[in-house]
Amino acid sequence: MSERSAGQSPEAAGRPGQSGGPAASGQRVPSADSADSAAGHSGETPDHRRDRNWTELLQELRVAQTGVQLLTAFLLALPFQAKFSDLSSAQRGLYLVVVLLAVAATGLLLMPVSLHRAVFRRHQKELLIQAANALAQAGLALLALAVAGVVTLIFDVVVGPTAGIIAGALTLLVLVLLWAVIPAIVRKQADAQTPPESRPAAAPHDRAGPAGEDEDGDGDGTI
C-alpha cells in the first residue's frame, strides 16, 4: 500500500478530490477565462495600449463626425429655401453664428485625420492620441453650442424670441449635463474604485522601438 501511494503519478495527485490537490486544500481553481483576462490586462504593452486607445478614439470620432456633418449640411441648405428671406436681421445673424460654430466643430473633429498624416511614420502615436483627445473635446463643445443655437433659431422663428432663448438655454444645459457633468461624475467614481497603482499614468512620448519594430509592434514602420 505504501509503495502504491508513493508511486502515485503527479497527475493523479493534482486531480480535484485527491489528496494534495487544489480542491482538497480549499483553494479555488481559476478558470481559463479569468486567467486570460488577467494576463491580458497585466501583460498589455505600451504599444498595444496606444493602438487600443487610438482605435477607441477613432470609433468615437466617427459617431461625432456623423452628427456634426448632418447638422452642417442642414444649415448650409437653409439659405436656398423660399422662406429664408422672411427671417429678420437678428435671426440671420444667429443663423450665421450657428453655421460658423458647426463648421468649426467639423474642422476640429476632422483634424485628427490631418494630424495622423502629418506624423505618419514618425513614431509619435502618443502625441497624436493626446492631441486628438483635446480636439475631440473642443469639437464636442462647439457642437453643443451649435445645436443649442439651432434650437434657439427654430423656436425663435416658430414661437418667438423669448421661447427661443429659453429653449436654447435648456438645450445647452442638457448637453452640458450629458456630455460633461455626468461623464465627470462617472470618471470620479471609477477613480475612487480603482487602486492608485492600477490607474493609467501619463505615458512619455513615443520612441522608436528595436530595429525593425515600430511603436505598433508590427514592424511596418507606421504609427
Q: What is the average pLDDT value for the chain, to the nearest integer?
A: 76
pTM (2 decimals)? 0.66
Amino acid (one-letter) located at 151: V
Cell 511614420 belongs to 121
Residue 219 has pLDDT above 50, yes or no: no
Q: Which three cell numbers stand for residue 184?
A: 465627470
> In this predicted model, what pLDDT tens digit does every residue of 59-71 receive, in sequence order?
888 888 888 989 9
The span from the CA of 136 to the CA of 96, in Å, is 23
Q: Cell 530595429 identifies what position?
A: 211
What is the C-alpha separation between 152 and 59, in angstroms, rounded?
A: 30
For residues 108 and 142, the answer to whether their CB atoms sit within 8 Å is: yes
Residue at 4: amino acid letter: R
Q: What is the pLDDT of residues 101-111, one digit of tens each?
A: 999 999 999 88
CB burial of 89-120 (b: ≥16 within 10 Å; e: otherwise) equals eebeebbeebbebbbbbbebbbbbeeebeeee
| Percent over 90 (pLDDT), the chain | 36
Q: Grade residue 131 by pLDDT with cuts at 50, 70 and 90.
A: confident
Which CA distances in Å does 119 have to 44, 54, 122, 125, 185?
Answer: 24, 14, 5, 8, 34
What is the tens place of the pLDDT at every residue in 132-177? 889 999 999 999 999 999 999 999 999 999 999 999 999 999 999 9
> At 204, phi and psi to the nearest 5?
-70, 170
Distance CA 99, CA 94 (A): 9
Q: Check the CA dihedral 125-129-134-135 and report its sign.
A: positive
Please tell me what DSSP assigns to residue 17.
T
Q: Closest Cα to residue 147, out of 163, 170, 131?
A: 170
CA 191 – CA 198 distance, rounded (Å)? 10
Using an 8 Å Cβ cutoff, are 74 and 149 in contact? no
pLDDT band at 217 (very low <50, low <70, confident <90, very high): very low
Q: Which of 110, 100, 126 is nearest to 61 (CA)?
A: 110
